[in-house]
Amino acid sequence: MNTSAKSEATYATIMDAAMDMAAQDGIGKLSLGELAKRTGISKSGVFSRVGSLESLQGAVLDEYDRRFAQEVFMPALQQPAGLPRLVQQVQLWLKKVTEEGTRNSCLYTAGAFEFDDLEGPLRDRVEQGVSRWRASMRRTVLQAMDAGHLRPDTDPEQLVFEIYSLIIGVMHDVRFLRDAAAPKRMQRAFNRLISTYRSFNELE
């Protein structure tokens, strides 16, 4: 393995471990020392590749963005604009946050609670991620309204809020209560929710 490939592999190892740590303990609990211990790389070696703790936290959120886009956002775009795309977004998001393994934790949803009463650049970065995803869902809701899939009096902000609340609820029950039936309950709740917003034309 050449030097460049080895360096990339080492960085990938560090990022994988950092993603696991952030998902399990929170972004604010990341530690260069603990990361060095988990990866078997010296602390100076970790620092030389990720820089400061603040740089590491930013890199973890950037990597989460990339993986979220790859696993949720981009696949949903393969569906027709409107309600089919919204349904796919929610189903893929649900799958991501409830699959076994802490790495699938939603760092933005968890981070919102972790930093809700704090100020600073890390809170701002988490808020940007939350706002971007909510804006994406809002655009999809608007497309569904334009396509006649949802009622013209639909309040996009309200629907996005209700979907987000379902995700928070299922994460709580899956991760804290360890309720294996929670994803099915959330899917039923989402189906019921969407049925109240469907256009009468869509139901014909």
Express as a percent the part of the chain with pLDDT over 90: 47
pLDDT band of 202, cuts 50, 70, 90? low
Under CATH, what is the fold of the domain 62-203? Tetracycline Repressor; domain 2 (1.10.357)
Mean pLDDT of all residues in 143-156: 96
Contacts of 38 (CB under 8 A, 6+ apart): 17, 21
Closest to 96 in 3D by CA, of 106, 107, 86? 106
Residue type, 54: E
Q: For 162-187, what is the mean pLDDT?
A: 93
pLDDT of residue 191: 97
CA-nearest of 180, 154, 185 to 167 is 185
When pLDDT is averaged across residues 69-76 and rounded to a whole number, the result is 94
Mean pLDDT along residues 168-178? 89
Q: Is the pLDDT of residue 103 over 90?
A: no
What pLDDT does 203 receive?
Answer: 47
Q: Radius of gyration (Cα) for the chain, nearest Å? A: 19
pLDDT at 27 over 90: no
Average pLDDT, the chain: 88
Domain layout of the chain by residue ranges:
62-203
Q: Are 94 and 170 in contact (CB under 8 A)?
A: yes
